[in-house]
Structure 1
């Protein structure tokens, strides 16, 4: 695999996203990294990002969570390699669109453990990671 120049790490305010960021920084030490804070619309179904509290400033909160995530990674001088961006949309659509529009070379995300079958799959829908893999033309690393 050719080392990417630009890696995308989507953040959805889910557990273990710090592991995805740490993996991206360690595995691709020469790449620029974008932390993409995805703000799910209030009318989106549960399968695409969960139930959100009504709040007027969700984008600001998402950026704050991304900054906290960056601060939690035990790396020295990574701030110059990492930028934080915010988009609103359903994660399964927003992440592939951003990756395509911004010429991302690789996506790294945590699987979030939502890949289910049977009744729960019908209720919850596809997992976000599976949807991103299916809709993204760039390589995607999904951590479990």
Structure 2
């Protein structure tokens, strides 16, 4: 079945960018790019010593806006448009909630963010693993 709405989660990694290029090339349908801003909370700070800072959240939101803008430019270069969304929360949970709350019928995502070394080369990242395992719609993983 040909999808009518593809979701491409973007995290700023080269593989996420490759996933967007793949989606734009392969699917002739509505595409939404999603960036999930993950707030730093006390549990994630250095031993719980630091309190969450608004400047960190502001920086994360600005980074998300830059990622989304790059996605728009890539789409325009391919003579396409994309819808955009920025959400806040745990990446895997937020992606899955977005799928459930929308009419997305296909996901295209990078296998993992960050450098590809050692065992990481052979394994999907934790976000991709979770989304692939729990998504109610097909997931294409770009490596």
Q: TM-score, normalised by structure 2?
A: 0.76
**1:114 offset after TM fit, Å?**
8.7
Quick check: 1:32 aligned with 2:4?
no
Q: Is the 8 A contact 1:114 1:127 kept in 2?
A: no
Rg larger in 1 or in 2? 2
Q: 1 or 2, which has the higher helix percentage? A: 2
Q: Any unmatched runs of 5+ in structure 1?
A: 46-52
Aligned residue-pair number: 127
Indicate the residue corresponding to 2:106 in structure 1: 106
**1:70 offset after TM fit, Å?**
3.3
Output the aligned Cα RMSD: 2.7
Quick check: 1:93 aligned with 2:93?
yes
Moved over 4 A (4+): 113-117
Q: Is the 8 A contact 2:36 2:91 kept in 1?
A: yes
CA distance in 2, matches of 1:74, 1:84: 13
Quick check: 1:135 aligned with 2:134?
yes
CA distance in 2, matches of 1:115, 1:15: 18
Q: Any unmatched runs of 5+ in structure 2?
A: 45-54
CA distance in 2, matches of 1:106, 1:59: 26
Alignment of 1:1-144 (within 5 A): 2-29=1-28, 31-43=29-41, 54-72=56-74, 75-79=77-81, 82-112=82-112, 116=119, 127-144=126-143
SS at 2:39 equivalent: coil
The 1:131–1:115 alpha-carbon spacing in structure 2 relative to 1, beyond 3 Å, is: farther
Write the deviation string for residues 20-68 of structure 1: whole angstroms up to 9, x where unpaired: 0111111112x100000111121275xxxxxxx8242422330221211
**1:72 offset after TM fit, Å?**
3.7
